[in-house]
């Protein structure tokens, strides 16, 4: 087999994992964004100490324990007690739970950067607390958070490579399988890196656009 033919076969083999890579990225990003936003809202606007401590503990644990540990617990640990998740479901849930802790901090930073007098002014103008939060504060905090969320999305895409450890059939899973059978280590991993780069570049461009457009709002 010629070098070019070998390269094409490698690309074809790795392309089989593209769909799962994109699926895991988008699904875990949606999960992380939704749950993280709810956690940020509760942490920012709730004065119940026990609840706030629980959220802080959740964020500390999820952010400071290796992702593989969470994935193994969800995939292998739950299976040992009769709760069986598919590798893809465990990947989405695991990365989503970790991401929720990360995005929670991003959203909280967005809320914290808003002028402190806005809430008081809105309440004085006759808005209810919920109207103040969702109509005045949240839209501004979301715009401020967008660049950081874009950076997180890029990092999440790259982090999907770890889910091959629980046999989720994404790009790196197929790369490892092909290396085992063909021993073309350099070509296969270089091609996998190129595929991740091709997927990341559009996200990076969107992130730069968001930074240019909304980064100034932080001031």
Mean pLDDT for the stretch of residues 118-134: 91
**pLDDT range class, residue 29, cuts 50, 70, 90:** very high
Question: Could you give the C-alpha distances from 98 to 37, 103, 133, 134, 199, in angstroms and in order?
Answer: 13, 9, 25, 25, 21
Question: Could you give the C-alpha distances from 88 to 20, 56, 199, 215, 218, in angstroms and in order?
Answer: 8, 28, 19, 35, 37
Burial degree of 23 (CB within 10 A; 0-12, 13-18, 19+): middle
pLDDT at 70 over 80: yes
Positive or negative, the CA dihedral 92, 98, 104, 107 is: negative
| Fold designation for 3-218 | MetI-like fold (1.10.3720)
Domain ranges of the chain: 3-218
| DSSP assigned state of 215 | G
The Cα 147–Cα 162 span in angstroms is 24
The Cα 143–Cα 114 span in angstroms is 11
pLDDT digits (tens, 9 = 90+) for 184-201: 899 999 999 999 999 999
Mean pLDDT for the stretch of residues 112-138: 91
Sequence-ordered list of residues with C-beta below 8 angstroms from that of 118, at least 6 positions apart, any chain? 136, 137, 140
pLDDT digits (tens, 9 = 90+) for 38-51: 999 999 999 899 99
pLDDT score for 191: 93
Mean pLDDT is lowest, of 18-32, 88-102, 169-183, 202-216, for 202-216
Q: Global pTM?
A: 0.90
- Percentages (nearest 5) of helix, strand, coil residues in the chain: 85, 0, 15
CB 46 within 8 A of CB 111: no
Report which of residues 9 and 29 the model is more confident about. 29
Mean pLDDT of the chain: 92
């Amino acid at each position: 087999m010629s070098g070019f033919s070998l390269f094409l076969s490698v690309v074809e083999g790795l392309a089989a994992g593209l769909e799962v890579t994109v699926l895991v990225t988008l699904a875990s990003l949606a999960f992380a964004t939704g749950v993280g936003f709810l956690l940020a809202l509760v942490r920012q606007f709730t004065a119940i100490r026990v609840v706030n401590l629980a959220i802080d503990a959740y964020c500390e644990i999820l952010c400071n324990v290796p992702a593989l540990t969470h994935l193994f617990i969800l995939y292998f640990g739950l299976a040992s007690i009769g709760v069986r998740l598919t590798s893809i479901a465990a990947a989405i849930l695991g990365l989503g739970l970790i991401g929720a802790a990360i995005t929670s901090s991003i959203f909280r930073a967005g809320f914290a950067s808003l002028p402190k007098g806005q809430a008081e002014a809105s309440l004085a103008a006759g808005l209810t607390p919920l109207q103040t939060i969702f109509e005045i504060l949240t839209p501004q905090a979301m715009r401020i958070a967008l660049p950081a969320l874009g950076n997180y999305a890029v990092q999440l895409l790259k982090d999907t490579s770890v889910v091959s450890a629980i046999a989720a059939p994404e790009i790196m899973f197929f790369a490892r399988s092909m290396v085992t059978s063909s021993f073309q280590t350099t070509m296969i991993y270089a091609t996998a890196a190129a595929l991740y780069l091709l997927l990341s570049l559009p996200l990076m461009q969107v992130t730069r656009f968001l930074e240019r457009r909304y980064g100034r709002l932080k001031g």
